[in-house]
Chains A and B, each alone.
Chain A
Amino acid sequence: GESVGLHLPTLSVQEGDNSIINCAYSNSASDYFIWYKQESGKGPQFIIDIRSNMDKRQGQRVTVLLNKTVKHLSLQIAATQPGDSAVYFCAENTHTGFQKLVFGTGTRLLVSP
Chain B
Amino acid sequence: AAGVIQSPRHLIKEKRETATLKCYPIPRHDTVYWYQQGPGQDPQFLISFYEKMQSDKGSIPDRFSAQQFSDYHSELNMSSLELGDSALYFCASSLRPGEGHEQYFGPGTRLTVT
* Partner-B contacts on A (CB < 8 A): 1-8, 31-32, 34, 36, 41-46, 49, 51, 89, 93, 95, 97-106
The reply to whether A31 and B99 contact each other, CB–CB distance below 8 Å, is yes
The reply to whether A45 and B97 contact each other, CB–CB distance below 8 Å, is no
Q: Which residues of the partner chain A approach B4 to less than 8 Å between Cβ atoms?
A: 43
* Partner-A contacts on B (CB < 8 A): 4, 31, 33, 35, 38-45, 48, 50, 55-56, 58-59, 90, 92, 94, 97-108, 110
Q: Write the nearest CB–CB distance from B65 to chain A, whole angstroms.
A: 18
Number of interchain pairs (Cβ within 8 Å): 82
CA distance A99 to B45 in the complex (A): 11
CA distance A5 to B107 in the complex (A): 22
Q: Write the nearest CB–CB distance from B71 to chain A, whole angstroms.
A: 20
The reply to whether A43 and B90 contact each other, CB–CB distance below 8 Å, is yes
Q: Which residues of the partner chain B approach A36 to less than 8 Å between Cβ atoms?
A: 105
Q: Write the nearest CB–CB distance from A107 to chain B, whole angstroms.
A: 11
